[in-house]
Structure 1
Amino acid sequence: MTLRIEDYGLIGDLQTVALVGRDGSIDWLCLPDIDSPACLAALLGDDSHGSWRIAPAGAGTCTRRRYRGETLVLETEWETPDGHVRVTDLMPPRGRTPDLVRIVEGVSGRVPVESTLRPRFDYGAVVPWVTESPSILGTERSGTVCAVAGPDALNLAATVPHAVSGETISSRFEVAAGDRVAFVLSYHRSYDPVPEPVDAEDALADTLEFWQEWVGKTRYEGRWGDAVRRSLITLKSLTYAPTGAIAAAATTSLPEQIGGTRNWDYRYCWLRDAAFTLLALLSTGHRDEAKAWREWLLRSVAGDPADLRIMYGLDGRRRLPEGTLDWLPGYEGSTPVRVGNGAADQLQLDVWGESLVGLSLTRSNGIAEDDDTWRLQRSLLDHLEGHWDDVDNGLWEVRGPQRPFVHSRVMAWAGVSAMIRGVERYGLDGPIDRWRMLRESIRTDVLTHGYDAERNTFTQFYGSRGLDASLLLIPRVGFLPWSDHRVVGTVDAVQRELSRDGLLLRYRQDADDVDGLEGREGTFLICSFWLVDALHAIGRDAESHALFDRLLGLRNDLGLLSEEYDVTSGRQLGNVPQAFSHLGVVNSARILSGIRGAGTDMTGMPEHPTA
């Protein structure tokens, strides 16, 4: 039986993640990195495509589950007629190799437990050679089961015996109160020596200590603290420690419509998503991640500013060719399953602005920069100066015709403004008079062509009758004050025309034939968080708080959110966990709590400027 998207929990080691279902099955694991091919891919198929289940024999979904405190250590419990069992899942901070640790603990009674591991490589396409004779890999160690195919190898060590049947590794054992049985799954290149497995109990202690220390650095005194810290942990889990990149989500091809074709690969770093995530981290005291992201950004975008990409691989690579995995039937039959992302080749002019704004945020939060960093920013602005009025694909990556999107022009304005602040506030060099003229030209253009005076609202693109939830960001970046009648009118129009049972769509797919894709999608959660902020800013606090409470109620029992929500079926949709959704939790909680301060919004200034 296919689990719902919200039935999965998350563990990870800051280089990859695993999704653990309510039934005790790990159905998604990419190794060695989050954007590597999956070795457990049942999430997009079935058990034959790779899974690892540990649960009481004959049991279904768990009785309860939780994270241990404010960590990424997941505890899943079953209460059965025979007794009570707990499975603790974790991925310790990475040493030489990625390790996944599962500890089975008897709480009461005496319970038969089964472990069934079906390793597969290349998203389920490659069935490995499984052997209990690891000497084939150049070691004489016994007691480890190895699964090998081409360059990839998995090794399973446990404190109970294994049985190998074909390509399946299984164990059956009993646990009584106080018993602890440990499993350690390790990955390595097949041509390297088999690594020593980590000690499971030491790994548990190290992982708990890591997360407790990291959360202890959080500086947040507002309301909804538990929700904010859980979302920050989730955002941290999507960072890629070796480079500082931030993945947009942990998965690929979880559908925006069950059975539909809107299935995309989100395991990469979008400059836009990362800039907003940066705001959430900086505003809660996490400067190390901001500094690491800035260094990743500078390496990734270095070169011709005309060649700036909207997204990059977590290691900074530019080529992310999109392909389909035809052997996978997709989540609940949603095909095609895609890897790579063709939108990487799109022109989205807003990313120049968002990159400049992101770098401005690090500056306003006291993260020093050198001359080379500023020269790169000037180079980006030089290109933007000559191209801000080009037509593009917009932030939602529409695969229809390119248009003069309002959000793209507004973010170009925000990028220019960030550079002007660099000169005015920090004494950096630049032709400020020319930049001020450029900023005013963009502003005049948007106000002339992107605003519908008859309806008192900005529009999705010039000449459009359609709306776009990103219009809610116009005052957020300082383009107009929240009190301006055009802003209030836009908030009203977006809420009226894009609402589906109180939550927001990104845009209406039938408006102006903007999309170019078949099928429909759910409400987009970050857009509803933007509406929370907007309603608060224009003085409609009761509505704002009610919507925020509703959005918090859409999280699963572990506090996780995917990309979208289907109000008809009451289900999460899209890739999970989604950074955009979780940064929405953090930023909206902070705004509703009245937390202000320099450098805490996309302007690099206090929230809700009035002029």
Structure 2
Amino acid sequence: MLVDRTGAIVWGCVPRVDGDPVFCSLLNSSHRDAGIWRFELEGQVSSSQEYIRNTPILVTRLEAEDGSCVEVLDFCPRYENKGRMYRPVGIGRIVRPISGNPRIRVVLRPMNNYGASLADTTNGTNHIRYLVSGQTLRLSTDAPVGYILEQRTFRIEEDTHFFLGPDEPFMGNLREEIRRMEQATRKYWQQWVRGLATPVEWQDEVIRCAITLKLCQHEETGAIVAALTTSIPEAPHSERNWDYRYCWIRDSYYTVQALNRLGALDVLEKYLAYLRNIVDSAKGGQIQPLYSVMGESELNETTAAYLAGYRGMGPVRVGNAAYKQIQHDCYGQIVLPTVQAFIDRRLLRMADERDFESLEQVGEMAWAMHDQPDAGLWEFRTRQEVHTYSAVMSWAACDRLAMTAEWLGKEERAKLWRERADAVRAKIEAEAWVENGEEGGHYGASFESDYLDASLLQMVELRFLSPDNDRFQSTFAAVEEHLRRGDHMLRYAAEDDFGAPETAFNVCTFWLIEALHLAGRDAEARKLFCTMLSHTTQSGLLSEDLDYETGELWGNFPQTYSLVGVINCAGLLSKPWSEVR
């Protein structure tokens, strides 16, 4: 669920993150009272928001011109109950009168079929049923049901409770039960945060990003979605509108890597289980770049005819045709997080011999495809090349398999994978390097051309190069010269299927910050990092893209890539704990 600055729920999908958005006003702004759930305070003049510390529980304060004030507390239940995690598809809302004599109007109008129609309703004495997406949601409340159905304004004189979730009656006292649920949820998140190994500086920012990344994981399967929304354009009227409510192998790799640095092993463990199912289903064959949260492979791309789009900038896409693409970097992005499962004795389930055999099948694909053309990590839709980033990821797959084989005492397998890693490295050095006269040269984004892209900065992170390597330093200089725009970084400057990029790609700016740190330019890196943090939303989060001239955020939200960048850069740039002890 996404809540706007006034406390209105403007985006929420049922029954899964990639399901029908029953709250869709984010992409349907021309219909103010459709696909939304908000509380309107009579005479309202201002609103403010904050999270309860170390939780995703949001408090919105609404104030009226006569001094009346209410607070809206929003939470999604999550806590252990009877040996299982209780996490229904539901949301609890508590409206509290703070001062004066506040009067509110409840506008609750979920929709069906991507904005095609309002949900049909039936009601009882203390509940309303909404038929959405072939199932029924029940609103249980101690507010007058008739006022909600007729959208009448009424005085609120005591805490009023709302729970929209499965069509199940509340057993016992509604007021007490919702309060108990909120307290249990608060305790769960504060205990989870308590286990994070945060840096000294920027703790609040890191904690907020970590909580949000965990919320981007589909608990049932372990899949991690790239973002919670679809079709927020990368730039105004660009039609670069994509559905990101799916699990990209690449994005998920970066997510678990960042959370692992904080010690959040629960996300890694669940994601590894998801990966094992993906690898099993592939049966040693090609891995797709993305899957649904349930592991479905076909994500046919269509458009939602009834939604105008964010600020009217359609189309609104459902599904993503990138699932058909060939992207060879995904093999390395499966191997790299899985390797930890053979070594980390904290894990509840450590990997075994069969897992290694299965992982070697992924490595075989990385080896076979390391010098074959693909769509690349930026998912070009109309051209293929042998992309350097994909080749480096294939090298990383072979390198880590060699390391893992050594750890397991498999000398012959280690020798094989080391030889393959060396062969891939030699290929990259020969084919990706672009000589440039007196300037020395740089790695190109692909074997076939000399253009640059920001992913070349990841060659150090992947351990292909050391920070002091001459080739890396000259490549960094070339990337910075051609792709940096003030305090921000483009992913590439060359025209693609939709023309020249118009916005900076936020994770690439974080890669720039990392590279500046590696180059010993820490003061500049810290300055750029603080600039990026100044662009976060009121909730402390980032979307995918940013207009490098105006500072306005664009693209799907919240974007896991961007939040990963905050966590990684904070860890690199923060002073150590030893300086404050």
Q: TM-score scaled by structure 1?
A: 0.87
Matched-pair contact (CA < 8 Å) for 2:55–2:190: yes
Task: Classify the secondary structure of the residue corresponding to 2:528.
Answer: helix
Deviation of 1:195 (Å): 6.7
Q: Distance in 2 between matches of 1:594 and 1:293?
A: 31
State the partner residue of 1:416: 398
Task: Classify the secondary structure of the residue corresponding to 2:101.
Answer: strand
Query: Deviation digits for residues 322-351 of structure 1, max 9, x if unmatched?
Result: 111122110012211101111011110011
State the partner residue of 1:65: 49
User: Mean Cα displacement is larger for which, 93-102 or 370-379?
Assistant: 93-102
Query: Deviation digits for residues 391-419 of structure 1, max 9, x if unmatched?
Result: 00001111121101110111110111010
Matched-pair contact (CA < 8 Å) for 2:50–2:59: yes
May I ask how many residue pairs the two structures share in their alignment?
558
Which structure ranks higher in relative contact order (CA pairs < 8 Å, sequence separation ≥ 6)? 1
Q: Answer yes or no: is 1:296 the counterpart of 2:281.
A: no
Question: What are the equivalent positions in structure 2 for 1:404-553 lying under 5 Å apart?
Answer: 404-428=386-410, 431-454=413-436, 455=439, 456-510=441-495, 515-518=496-499, 520-553=501-534
Q: Answer yes or no: is 1:101 the counterpart of 2:92.
A: yes
State the partner residue of 2:536: 555
Deviation of 1:147 (Å): 1.7
Q: Distance in 2 between matches of 1:132 and 1:265?
A: 34
Q: Answer yes or no: is 1:84 the counterpart of 2:69.
A: yes
Deviation of 1:58 (Å): 4.0
Task: Classify the secondary structure of the residue corresponding to 1:239.
Answer: coil
State the partner residue of 2:324: 345
Task: Classify the secondary structure of the residue corresponding to 1:327.
Answer: coil
Q: Distance in 2 between matches of 1:253 and 1:496?
A: 31
Query: Deviation digits for residues 145-196 of structure 1, max 9, x if unmatched?
Result: 112256222222221212379xx663532235xx2111111245xxxx6676
Matched-pair contact (CA < 8 Å) for 2:54–2:207: yes
Query: Deviation digits for residues 9-52 of structure 1, max 9, x if unmatched?
Result: xxxxxxxxx11111221110101211111111111113354111
State the partner residue of 1:44: 27
State the partner residue of 2:81: none
Q: Show structure 1 runs of 5+ residues with no match.
A: 1-17, 134-141, 597-611
- Structure 1 counterpart of 2:425, one-letter code: R
State the partner residue of 1:203: 181
User: Mean Cα displacement is larger for which, 435-444 or 224-233?
Assistant: 435-444
Query: Deviation digits for residues 286-323 of structure 1, max 9, x if unmatched?
Result: 11211111111001221323231111111112111111
Matched-pair contact (CA < 8 Å) for 1:260–1:335: no
Q: Distance in 2 between matches of 1:320 and 1:332?
A: 26
State the partner residue of 1:131: 122
Q: Distance in 1 between matches of 2:410 and 2:77?
A: 43
User: Mean Cα displacement is larger for which, 412-421 or 358-367?
Assistant: 358-367
Task: Classify the secondary structure of the residue corresponding to 2:91.
Answer: strand
State the partner residue of 2:306: 327
- Picking from 377, 385, 402, the partner of 2:367 is 385
Matched-pair contact (CA < 8 Å) for 1:391–1:403: yes
RMSD, aligned CA = 2.1
- Structure 1 counterpart of 2:454, one-letter code: A
Deviation of 1:280 (Å): 1.2
Task: Classify the secondary structure of the residue corresponding to 2:460.
Answer: coil
Task: Classify the secondary structure of the residue corresponding to 1:307.
Answer: coil
- Structure 1 counterpart of 2:185, one-letter code: T
Q: Percent identity?
A: 32
Matched-pair contact (CA < 8 Å) for 1:116–1:169: no
Task: Classify the secondary structure of the residue corresponding to 2:74.
Answer: strand
Q: Distance in 1 between matches of 2:373 and 2:288?
A: 16
- Structure 2 counterpart of 1:287, one-letter code: L
Matched-pair contact (CA < 8 Å) for 2:232–2:555: yes
Task: Classify the secondary structure of the residue corresponding to 1:226.
Answer: helix
Q: Distance in 1 between matches of 2:247 and 2:273?
A: 14
Matched-pair contact (CA < 8 Å) for 1:258–1:332: no
Q: Answer yes or no: is 1:212 the counterpart of 2:190.
A: yes
State the partner residue of 1:15: none
Matched-pair contact (CA < 8 Å) for 2:109–2:119: no
- Structure 1 counterpart of 2:231, one-letter code: S
Deviation of 1:555 (Å): 0.9
State the partner residue of 2:338: 359
Q: Distance in 2 between matches of 1:238 and 1:391?
A: 31
Deviation of 1:518 (Å): 4.2
Deviation of 1:79 (Å): 2.4
Query: Deviation digits for residues 175-223 of structure 1, max 9, x if unmatched?
Result: 35xx2111111245xxxx6676783212211211111111111122432
Deviation of 1:143 (Å): 1.9
Q: Distance in 2 between matches of 1:79 and 1:48?
A: 21
Q: Distance in 1 between matches of 2:49 and 2:498?
A: 38
Deviation of 1:77 (Å): 0.7
- Picking from 133, 137, 161, the partner of 1:182 is 161
